[in-house]
Amino acid sequence: MMWSVMILSGAGLSAESGLKTFRDSDGLWEEYDVMEVCSVEGFAKDPKKVGDFYDARRAQLERVEPNFAHKKIAELKEKYPREISVVTQNVDDLLERAGCKEVIHLHGTLTDLRCEVCGNIWKVGYESQEGKSCQKCGSKKIRHNVVMFGEPAPMYGYLDDVFSSIELFIVIGSSGNVLPLKSMAKYKEKSVLNNLHPEPDLDRSFQTVIHKKASEGILEIEKMVKDFLCE
């Protein structure tokens, strides 16, 4: 499949919906250390604590709604399903709830659980994982379906494949702490970065930089995508 446009999103896309990240100060997050709940080592040490953490995130996700930017991305994908690849670092389901199809989750999904014995992945929605067992093999050895530090991210291969074919690279709400956005942007002639706060080192790698909230920046991005695909 040859894609023309990639819309890659990060935490900044869902921030306006009220989803907190480790960077925000918020009661839920201050109780946890990122390496205790988001790393392979932390999971091996205290799986119950990690399970509780993701249960709390699922409960939080149930209480928020997709925002205008999620909806606009869904509209663009609907209009250009074969041209635009929608990729996200977010583990929430807000793009899907906005109606977006074929969302690629690089770091897994909060609304699924995974069996550690047979690898089966199934939808849990916003429920706690407590007391659940694998729907396929019955094992009680189950876990969240979010990629942790120290384990492979299977969708990165897909990301590389799509990235090699696109001409327009759009990033919304990501500071490039996890993905090498700076070097990725340099590979493409047409690149757009929409972050609320300036980050000069990252900004200068992109052709166009929009310092606005995602819900405002998306209107400029929508226009650029349409202009590009109608050329």
Is 136 a binding residue for Zn ion by CB under 5 A? The answer is yes
Closest approach of Zn ion to the CB of residue 28, in Å? 30
- What SS3 class is residue 49? helix
Q: What Rg, from alpha-carbon coordinates, does the chain have?
A: 18
Q: Which stretch binds Zn ion (CB under 5 A): 22-30, 105-113, 135-143, 220-228?
A: 135-143
Is 140 a binding residue for Zn ion by CB under 5 A? The answer is no
Closest approach of Zn ion to the CB of residue 124, in Å? 14
Helix axes 214-230, 68-79, angle to 10 degrees: 10
Is 115 a binding residue for Zn ion by CB under 5 A? The answer is yes
Contacting Zn ion (CB under 5 A), which of 2, 34, 59, 118? 118
Q: Is 70 a catalytic residue?
A: no
Rounded to an integer, what is the distance from CA 136 to the centroid of its chain? 27
Q: Which stretch binds Zn ion (CB under 5 A): 7-15, 19-27, 128-136, 160-168?
A: 128-136
Sign of the alpha-carbon dihedral angle for 12, 18, 21, 22: positive
Cα–Cα distance between 176 and 217 in angstroms, integer?
A: 18
C-beta of 28 vs 117, nearer to Zn ion:
117
Is 113 a binding residue for Zn ion by CB under 5 A? The answer is no
Strand partners, 8: 87, 171
Is 177 a binding residue for Zn ion by CB under 5 A? The answer is no
Sign of the alpha-carbon dihedral angle for 67, 11, 97, 110: negative
Is 137 a binding residue for Zn ion by CB under 5 A? The answer is yes
Nearest Cα residue to 176 out of 196, 202, 213, 156:
202
Cα–Cα distance between 157 and 146 in angstroms, integer?
A: 17
Contacting Zn ion (CB under 5 A), which of 4, 21, 60, 120? 120
C-beta of 130 vs 231, nearer to Zn ion:
130
Could you give the residue numbers annotated as active site?
107
Q: Which residues bind Zn ion (CB under 5 A)?
A: 115, 117-118, 120, 134, 136-137, 139
